[in-house]
Amino acid sequence: MKNNKLVAIDLFCGCGGFSYGFQQAGFDMVLGIDMWKDATVTYQHNFPNACVINDDITNISEDDILSRLGMNADDIDVIIGGPPCQGFSVSGKRMIDDPRNKLYKSFVGLVDQIRPKVFVMENVPGLIRLFGGKVKEQVLNDFSSLGYRVKVQQLSSDDYGVPQQRKRVFFVGVNAEKISKKNEFEFPKAEYGDGMKPYVTCKEAISDLDFVPDDVSLGENIAYKIPAQSEYQNLMRKGSHSIKNHSITIHKEQTKKIIAMVPDGGNYKDLPIELQNTRKVHIAWTRMNSEKPCFTIDTGHNHHFHYKENRVPTVRESARIQSFPDKFEFIGIKTSQLKQVGNAVPPLMARAIAKEVIKTIGDTR
């Protein structure tokens, strides 16, 4: 049965970044669905009270969800998720009719069947520019036709306290039958940047993790050895008694020598010309800038380096850059963990949106 918290379900939960931000804002995350087994194992580990379904969403119906939860459709306040966009780039077709967009279509279908008060769908920034904005308009039309007042905006995670420049597009729909226009949704205003709080830098995010040498792996459960050196580090450490997922990648000596030639905030262009085009150097080679938010954390991490150490970032360092707190533990082999981190919506970014969703829902329950 429903408790006093607002209830949300995540239809493409991944490891749980989007969900974690909503949970931090005060939502009860009761369900996560994803077809990637590794991600759902991590999700279940960090959301032990949630129902987790490891399956293709196209196999899941409204009845499946409600029966597993023991709830009625009216008990679900919000649906969130980021459906993959394989078919969004096919010219000349309505996006929802492209067979490769069955995941997006399932998201739309479940919103239609469950009729939550609000839905939040996130995606890549390029989505709103495809075909001169026609794809964006299709998404708006698909949800508007269901009776939702829909807004879309591109947000950057560093504006919300995430030490990373990561741009994502969010579509937020408000159920016109359940919420009046006086409770219109407004996207969260930036809190960091010019004239506001200074952006959180890479150094402020991970400098307390620097004690790990670049030639020895200390394991997966390490005691804190450096005091928190910033407000952000204190926030990330809250509720955690040790450092998990902090096993380093040990590179060959020659690789480390080349990485050492790239200065703080530099890239492959800082290398000697004879090295720039060799097989050992990839054009994407970039070192974090200790005094700025990080570039976008991806799912590979093979060519992005720590601002000071001559190695790629650990899973925990990448998680810090994404704003996952230290108590959030990633399960699986290291390459899987890195992919889980890289695919996630930064929790602090999600929390900022969730807070505005709460304001919109207000006292309509």
| Full pLDDT tens readout for the chain, 365 residues | 445 899 999 999 999 999 999 999 999 999 999 999 999 999 999 999 999 999 999 999 999 999 999 999 999 999 999 998 655 544 445 555 666 678 999 999 999 999 999 999 999 888 888 777 888 898 999 999 999 999 999 999 999 999 999 999 999 999 999 999 999 999 999 999 999 999 999 999 999 999 888 777 777 789 999 999 999 999 999 999 999 999 998 889 998 999 999 999 999 999 998 888 776 777 778 999 999 999 998 876 678 999 999 999 999 999 999 999 999 999 999 999 999 999 999 999 999 999 999 999 986 65
* Residue 199 DSSP symbol: P
Give the burial string for 103-122 (b: 16+ CB within 10 Å, else e): bbbbbbbbbeebbbbbbbbb
- Give the DSSP per-residue string, 263-313: PTT-BGGGS-HHHHTSTT--TT-EEPPTTSPBPPP-S--SSEE-SSSSSPP
Can you list the domains of the chain with their CATH numbers? Answer: 7-191+346-361 (3.40.50.150), 202-343 (3.90.120.10)
For residue 156, which phi and psi values (nearest 5 degrees)? -115, 130
130 to 124, 138, 150: CA distances (angstroms): 11, 11, 19
**Other C-beta atoms lying within 10 Å of the C-beta of residue 269:** 11
13 catalytic per annotation:
no
Helix axis angle, 334-343 relative to 37-46, nearest 10°?
Answer: 80
pLDDT attached to residue 1? 40
Predicted TM-score of the model (pTM): 0.94
> How many Cα atoms are found within 13 Å in the side-chain-facing hemisphere of 160?
25
Residue whose C-alpha is closest to residue 178's, from 112, 117, 110, 113: 117
Among residues 13, 15, 51, 85, the one annotated as catalytic is 85
Which pLDDT value is given to residue 90? 45
CA distance 78 to 50: 15
